[in-house]
A and B are shown apart, each in its own frame.
Chain A
Amino acid sequence: MATTERQGRKSRSTSARKAADRAKANGKEAGQPPRVKNDALLDLYRKMVEVRLFEDAAQRGFRTGKIGGYLHVYSGQEAVATGFLHEYREGDRIITAYRDHAHALLLGSEPKAVMAELYGKGTGLVKGKGGSMHLFDVANGFMGGYGIVGGHIPLGVGMAYSLAYRKTGGIVQLFLGDGAIHNGAFHEAANLAGLWGRDGLNPTLFVIENNQYGMGTSVERSTAMTDLGSKFDSYGIEHEKVDGMDLEAVLDCAHRAAERVRESGKPFAVEALTYRLVPHGAADFLEKYRTKEEIREWRQRDPIGLLERTLLERDAADEDALKAIRETAKARSDEAVQFADESPDPDLTELTTDVYAGEMHVPAAGSGIGE
C-alpha cells in the first residue's frame, strides 16, 4: 500500500525513517483498506493546509511585531491533531499545552478570532487576555491551551472523571509533549487515570506529540527509557505508537483508540512520532541542538507533502485541485490577518473583569488612592 511504497523510496536509515519504522511495528497493520474515503481525505488535506498557512502567517506577525509574548507553532505536526481530532464528538473535551493553535482551528474556532487573539485584540478568542498560549473555545469542546509544561495533564484526567461520572458518553483527548512526560504532574495524573479507569471512570485518550525535542533537549537526553509509551505501563494503561507524519496511519489509530476509550471508560495512550519543522518558539533562531541535515530529512516526511503524494497517486485530486485548495486556504489566512490587524484593542475596562465570577472590586495598577 501507499505508505510502504513511499517508505521504500527512501533508502537511507535516518532518524525520520527509524521513527516511522518503530511506529509501523506497533501501529497499523499492512493490507488494510484505507479507513477514510478519498473525498474525506481531501477535506482533511484542506484542514492541514489551513493550519500550516495560518501558522506561517502567525510567524510573520511575530517577526513584524504584531504578535508579542511567546509564539509556538505546530508546523510539521499537523497530521497528529488532524487525525485525532477527526474523532471528536460533541460532548468530548480536548486539552493541550501552549502549542495550541492547530487544535483550536481543527475544532472549529474561527481563524479570524484565533489570529485576533494572537494580535492581542478585543475580538480575540479570549478577548486578548490570554494570547497564543491560552486559546479556549469551550463551545467547541476546547478546554484550553496551558503554559506550564505538564500543568494541564491532571486537569484532563479530572475532566474525564467528570464526563464518566455524569455518564455523558464523552471522552477527553489529552495532548502532551515528549518533554512534559518527565514532569511529576504527568506521573501523578497518569496513575490516577489508570486507577480510576479500572472502574470505567476515566475515558482519557492520551496523545503524546513526540516531536523529538522539548525546546533544545532531545528525548534521548531527557530519559534513559526513551520508549515513551512504556511510561504508561507503570500505571496500567495500554498504549501504542503511530507514525505521526502519516495522516492515514493516525486516522486509523485514532479511530481504534477513541472507540476503545469511549466504550471502556478506561484510558489509553498513543505516542505519535512527529517532528517540529520550525524552531521551538518564533523568537528562537539558534538551533544548536539539531542539525540542518536532520531537519532536511524530516522535511521529506512533511505530513502535508506525504498526503499530497497519496492523493495524487490515488487520483483523489490532481495538481490543480491541490493548488486551488492551497489558494483558498491562503485567502482564508490573509482574511484572518486583516481582521486581526483592523480589530480594536481590548477595552481597558477588560483589565479587571474575569478575575472572579460576578462583581468584586479589583484595584487597578497604581497606588489605590482615590479609587
Chain B
Amino acid sequence: MPVKTYRDALKAAMAEEMQRDESVVLLGEDIGVYGGTHLVTNGLIDEFGPKRVIDTPIAENGFTGAAIGMAMTGLKPIVEMMTWNFSFLAADQIIQNAAKLRYFSGGQVSVPLVIRGPNGGGVQLSAQHTHSLEGFYGHFPGLKVVSPATPHDVKGMMLSAIRDPDPVIFLEAGALYGTKGEVEDGDYTVPFGKARVAREGTDISLIGYGRQVNLLLRVADKLAEDGIEGEVIDLRSIRPFDSETIVASVRKTNRAVVVQEQWRWFSVASEVAAIIQEQAFDELDAPVERVSGAEVPAPYARNLELAAFPSEQQIIDAVQRVLYRVATTSATTR
C-alpha cells in the first residue's frame, strides 16, 4: 500500500472528491495563492480555480456563515479554519445556525458542511493559539465531531465528512501533518462513531484520540517491558461516540486511563469516564483516571508548556495507580 503523510492523505481526500463532485468547494484564509498555512491545500487552486478554492478575507464569522448558506442551497463547502483557535469568531454561526438548522426548520434544511483545520498545541503558540476543542464542540447536539489520528483515517474520515448530510467539525492534530502511514488509493470511507483498537492488550485500557494516540502507543511499549499489556483505543470520533468498543475493552481489562491534551473539567475524558462507570461499573477493578492538561491558559515558555501537557511519565504513573502498583489516594473531586 502506498505510504503518505497525514497532510497528503487529507489533501487527496479533498482533491479526489472535488474531481468527482462539482458541488464541493473550499473556503478559507490563504488556502489558495498562499498555498495554505499548513500546505494542506497547496496547489488545489491551480487544479480547481479560484471559484472552487476561495481565498477569503480574515472574516471567520462571515465566511463560515456564508458557507452554511452555500450548504443550505446545494453546495458542499469545506471551510478551513487556519487554526481552530480562530473558530471562536465563527462559533455563533457554527453553534447557532449550522448545528440547529435541521432541527428548527423541522427537517426542511440540511447543512452538509465540513469545517476543518489544525487543533491542539505543543509548539509554543501560547494562550490564544493553543486549544483542544473536542469537548467544546462535542457539547452541541447537531454537530458531528471527529479527530482522526492516522493518515489512513484522515482520508477515509474526510470522505465520510464531505458526504455527510450534517455539519462536521473535523479536528486535525497539527502535530501530525508530517507523520506517515499506509493509505489506500481511491475511494474508501471510515465511518463516524467507530473507535479503533490501535493495540490489543489485556491489562488496562488506554483511551485517547488525535495526537495522544501516538503517545499512548509509546507508553504501551514501555509498559510491555514491565509485563503490562495495555490496550490502546483511538476514539476517532467524539460525537457520535462509540461506547461499545470502550465498554468491551474495559470488560476485558477491568481498568482504564483516559488521556487528553485539553482541560480536565467538563471534557471528553470526563464523558468517557462517566460512560464507563454507567455501563461497566461492575467490571471495574479501580477508578478510571483522567490524565489531562493543566487548568491554565497555555504558557509560552518551553518548560512551562511541557509542564502544561500530559507526559509519558504522568500516564505511566496513572497506570501504576490504577493497577494498584503504587499507593494511591482516592480520586479527588477537583
Residues of A within 8 A of B (CB): 68-70, 117, 120-122, 124, 128-131, 133-134, 146-151, 179-180, 182-185, 214-217, 221-223, 286, 288-289, 345-346, 348, 350-352, 355, 361-371
Contacts and interface: CB of A to CB of B under 8 A. Distances in A.
Given A68-B124, A148-B86, A215 B290 contact: no
B181 interface: no
A70 B129 CA distance: 10
B58 A120 contact: no
B299 interface: yes
Contacts of B85: 148
Interface stretch (B6-14, B199-207, B243-251, B304-312): B304-312
B304 A69 contact: no
A351 B293 CA distance: 11
Contacts of A368: 264, 290, 292, 331-332, 334
B296 interface: yes
A150 B58 contact: yes
B30 interface: yes
Most B CB within 10 A of own CB, among A120, A133, A288: A120
Given A147-B128, A365-B293, A182 B59 contact: yes
B132 to A, nearest CB: 13
Contacts of A345: 301-303
Given A120-B303, A131-B126, A351-B294, 16 more contacts: A68-B300, A69-B125, A117-B300, A120-B304, A129-B299, A147-B126, A148-B85, A179-B57, A182-B59, A355-B295, A355-B296, A365-B294, A366-B291, A366-B292, A366-B310, A367-B257
A134 B318 contact: no
B232 to A, nearest CB: 18
A371 B128 CA distance: 27
Nearest to B60: A183
Interface of B: 29-30, 33-35, 37, 55, 57-62, 85-86, 88-89, 123-129, 257, 264, 289-297, 299-304, 307-311, 314, 317-318, 321, 328-329, 331-332, 334
B57 A366 contact: no
A183 B89 contact: yes
Nearest to B85: A148
A217 B307 CA distance: 37
B264 A128 contact: no
A365 B309 contact: yes
For the complex of A and B, the 8 pairs showing the least CB-CB separation, nearest first, are A216-B34, A131-B300, A68-B124, A120-B301, A128-B301, A182-B57, A69-B124, A147-B128
Given A348-B303, A351-B294, A366 B123 contact: no
A352 B301 CA distance: 13
A351 B300 contact: no
Nearest to A117: B300
B301 A179 contact: no
17 contacts: A69-B123, A120-B300, A120-B304, A133-B128, A134-B128, A134-B300, A184-B61, A184-B89, A215-B37, A217-B29, A221-B55, A365-B292, A365-B294, A368-B292, A368-B331, A369-B321, A371-B332
A180 B55 contact: no
Given A69-B300, A222-B57, A367 B35 contact: no
A369 B294 CA distance: 13
Most B CB within 10 A of own CB, among A121, A147, A184, A366: A366
